[in-house]
Structure 1
Amino acid sequence: MSSQISEKCEIVIVGAGLAGYAAAIALAGTGADIVLLDRASKVSEDVSTTDPRTTALSPSSFKMLTCLDIVAALHEDPKPIAAMKITEAASVTKWPGGGLDFEAANNATNGAEDGDEALAYMVRNHDLLAAFEKVSQSLPNLSIRKGQSVTDAVQTSQGMRLTVNGDEMLCDLVVACDGRQSLVRDFLGIRMINRDYHRAALVTDFSHSLPHNNIARQIFRTDGPLACLPLGQNADGEYVSSLVWVEKTKTAKNLAALSPERFAHALSEQLDGALGDIGVLHAPHCFALSLILAENYAAPHAVLLGDAAHVIHPLAGQGYNLTLRDAAILAEHVFEAKRLGLKACDMSVTETYELNRRADAFAMASLTDGLHRLFGASFLPLSWARHVGMGLLNNALPKSVEGAAQRYADRGVSQPPRLLRGTKLDATP
């Protein structure tokens, strides 16, 4: 690296996807001066036809995005999930009955601070990104740099020294939001735990003749779960759901290559008529699945956030909620440090962030990985025990325990920070 420093910054966020924007807008409330580096050269166009992915926002994530004005900036209103029905496919179990049902009403009576009206809220990823971009333009302490890529990062006693498009930047804190193939993470020398699931998720939207009643469905199958997440109705009055169908990678690719009619027939067979006549609205996309966990989530003058820190199995739908918890926790610690006159890179920020986020991500990864292994097992005694256990849980589990499980998935392993409670950070003196 050259010795010439062209710019000094307080916080630099590398990566302007859903993780980077969430971190930037959350941190803006701390009063810190923030630079968001986006390697794309222009504002993202509508990618609804190329990326059909959706996100199920937990109630606390929804509160966070509401107080950050993101929900108000969405093009489409979020679609509530009122309940979730979990069943086993016939290929998984040999016994009738069983399954689990979760209802949002349980939250109101079992220890939640204020009874949430939904289990989750469905939003389209491209709509969420557009809302982030819109809100970010009104934040005076957030500078978005398009066409900016980091090609090197070195820790120094004065801060993190970044090479960006050939120029040198020095910052107190760099936030790596550059995805599962994070270059910043590599520059920091942080090792990863990797597991290839040899599975891929088929993602698309589909219409159906029977109403979903705002109920999400998840069917556990030997090769992976199949989830149908309600998206309301389209302009033609058809009921619409988002599909996440996990299969072995080769099978998923073969299914994606089918004609819309044959794919709809294959999906109808999996659903066994539960949603009536099926129509596929977009060609399904395949996304490879793996487990990726960073061994460390922080280093001097740096933290990892989002997919740069953790990628988990999608069967619980908690991946982006983990990312929003990352952003909320980081913003909380930076806010408190600055109130005490400390820098954003103070050890009270980085070390506490690492302890909290590593514990939360490893706990959620263990849960999703364990469920993946449990429902992928065909050993008969284990299959019977699993089936009976689900039935007992559904019929006998105390609602207080059920509510506690929902709140853990919603808020993580510690007391939620202000943003997750729906309270803005205000750095105004």
Structure 2
Amino acid sequence: MTTVHDVAVTILGAGPVGATLACLLAEAGVPAAVVDRAALPPMELPEFDGRAYAIARGSRDVLEEAGVWDRLGDLPCPIRRIRVSDGRLGRRPSPLTLTFDAAAAGEDAFGWMVEARHLRIALNAQLPSLPGLIVAAPATVAAVARGPESATVRLADGRTIRTQLVVAAEGRESATREAAGIPVTRWDYGQDAIVAAVRHAEPHGHVAIEHFLPAGPFAILPLPGEGGDGRTSAIVWTERRAQAARIWTLEAERFARELARRFGDHLGPVTPVGMRWRYPLGALLAHRYTDTRLALVGDAAHGIHPIAGQGLNLGFRDAGALGARIVAAFRAGRDVGGAEVLAGYQRARRPANLAMLAATDLLDRLFSTDLAPVRLARDLGIAAVDRLPPLKRVFMRAAMGLSPLAPLKVA
């Protein structure tokens, strides 16, 4: 016998963005369903594997509303300062640095580093605890039908979900987006990101570092460490693809030496821990975020260079913006999948995401070169930002995932 579920919203994809949106809606009393091909528990890893997320302050607000942040307890590691520097591997670096201090803006932190496994565990604990939320995982979507009045999601196991809105949160290769005929523009940066973690002799002091090298940025991001000792950091190391492939194949001792050359000695000797991961870098832009009874969120809608650590945060902001409009419509008795909700979501998020995509693309092109005139221009830019408090506050708000137009508290 076919089982039929009736909900307001059906989310396809239970990754961090899709699962957070599901929790956000269910916490607000909106009947929802979330579907994923994978079972949720295997997404949890019992041991540290080197992967972590930078959660901006604006994204924390969304996770708090979804009831997820409290489940993380004291695991997130605050980022209290950000230091930007420009350097040339093997040669004397520029003496110019740009430092942002959250305390100077009257804030406790720019954001928090959260291990990927801890966020997954928190999401998996929250999802089944919410009444009115249907979790279908593992489950395969057999068909999605969208019409002027409603939509239907049919699963391969015979279940049918009748819904007012379908949300595609399946990632960059979203089958739902493709089936809807929404075009995308892509480009390849010719770079790979190597993600790992290191232990170091001295505590990091909650400082995040973005060190720009000709091949791409080398980011050092603070993690709690063993017993909260602050002697562990996450690394996002960008290299041109051929060089990244060479580094990837190095045995442990040579890999550690290459990493230490870029890390520097400011925290003493460093030792890689956990696993290494390598990801090709490219950008993606969906030409629109909506279609009839359909909304795209997260990587299904956009993908950016990780140079500013904002990729996942853009997805959380999508979830927050779409969720707020759905909740308002539901409580007012209006159609949560109607044109008004979808148009408002696209107006709120697409220009902001496009601006971040353009900014990260420009930063990568500006800093991933060693040409003398370009180096001079960017070093002058670093010096100028450091000496102009209003401009500096704009960058600080962007790092926090907040609107650069809103006033920032100043201590």
Report the TM-score when normalising by structure 2.
0.92
- Contact 2:303–2:311 (CA under 8 A) maintained in structure 1: yes
Task: Provide the residue aligned with 1:426 in structure 2.
Answer: none
- Contact 1:82–1:117 (CA under 8 A) maintained in structure 2: yes
Correspondence 1:108-187 to 2 at 5 A: 108=106, 116-165=107-156, 167=158, 168-187=160-179
Partners in 1 of 2:228 and 2:93 — Cα distance? 40
Q: Aligned pair count?
A: 404
Residue by residue over 1:244-266, the C-alpha shift from the partner in whole angstroms, topping out at 9 and shown as x without a partner, is: 00011222122122222221111
- Contact 1:200–1:287 (CA under 8 A) maintained in structure 2: yes
CA-CA distance at 1:413 after TM superposition: 4.9
Residue by residue over 1:172-192, the C-alpha shift from the partner in whole angstroms, topping out at 9 and shown as x without a partner, is: 100101111101111111111
Q: Which of 11, 17, 20 in structure 1 is aligned with 2:18?
A: 20
CA-CA distance at 1:50 after TM superposition: 8.5
User: Taking structure 1 as reference, are residues 335 and 389 closer, same or farther at Cα in structure 2, changes over 3 Å only?
Assistant: same
SS of 1:264's partner is helix
2:402 counterpart of 1:404:
no
Residue by residue over 1:135-172, the C-alpha shift from the partner in whole angstroms, topping out at 9 and shown as x without a partner, is: 12221011101221223323212322333216454321
CA-CA distance at 1:5 after TM superposition: 9.5
- Contact 1:209–1:238 (CA under 8 A) maintained in structure 2: no
Task: Provide the residue aligned with 1:78 in structure 2.
Answer: 76
Task: Provide the residue aligned with 2:190 in structure 1.
Answer: 198
SS of 2:216's partner is coil
Partners in 1 of 2:91 and 2:351 — Cα distance? 33
2:336 counterpart of 1:344:
yes
Residue by residue over 1:1-57, the C-alpha shift from the partner in whole angstroms, topping out at 9 and shown as x without a partner, is: xxx994443211001111111110111234221011121135235326585321111
User: Taking structure 1 as reference, are residues 261 and 30 closer, same or farther at Cα in structure 2, changes over 3 Å only?
Assistant: same
- Contact 1:193–1:295 (CA under 8 A) maintained in structure 2: yes
- Contact 1:337–1:346 (CA under 8 A) maintained in structure 2: no
Task: Provide the residue aligned with 2:241 in structure 1.
Answer: 249
- Contact 2:142–2:155 (CA under 8 A) maintained in structure 1: yes
Task: Provide the residue aligned with 2:409 in structure 1.
Answer: none
Residue by residue over 1:305-328, the C-alpha shift from the partner in whole angstroms, topping out at 9 and shown as x without a partner, is: 111111111111111111111111
SS of 2:257's partner is helix
User: Taking structure 1 as reference, are residues 337 and 415 closer, same or farther at Cα in structure 2, changes over 3 Å only?
Assistant: farther
Partners in 2 of 1:101 and 1:88 — Cα distance? 12
Q: Which of 19, 31, 34 in structure 1 is aligned with 2:32?
A: 34
Give % identity.
Answer: 29
Task: Provide the residue aligned with 1:369 in structure 2.
Answer: 361
Partners in 2 of 1:265 and 1:48 — Cα distance? 28
Residue identity matched to 1:402: K
Partners in 1 of 2:93 and 2:128 — Cα distance? 56
Task: Provide the residue aligned with 2:209 in structure 1.
Answer: 217
SS of 2:178's partner is helix
2:260 counterpart of 1:262:
no
Structure 1 residues not aligned, in runs of 5+: 109-115, 417-429
Partners in 2 of 1:361 and 1:397 — Cα distance? 26
Residue by residue over 1:58-90, the C-alpha shift from the partner in whole angstroms, topping out at 9 and shown as x without a partner, is: 112223323433222126621011101110112
- Contact 1:81–1:118 (CA under 8 A) maintained in structure 2: yes
Partners in 2 of 1:84 and 1:317 — Cα distance? 12
SS of 1:77's partner is coil
Partners in 2 of 1:257 and 1:342 — Cα distance? 56
Residue identity matched to 2:191: R
Partners in 2 of 1:286 and 1:49 — Cα distance? 19
Partners in 2 of 1:83 and 1:50 — Cα distance? 24
Report the TM-score when normalising by structure 1.
0.88
User: Taking structure 1 as reference, are residues 95 and 34 closer, same or farther at Cα in structure 2, changes over 3 Å only?
Assistant: closer
- Contact 1:212–1:239 (CA under 8 A) maintained in structure 2: yes
Partners in 2 of 1:178 and 1:231 — Cα distance? 28
SS of 2:275's partner is coil
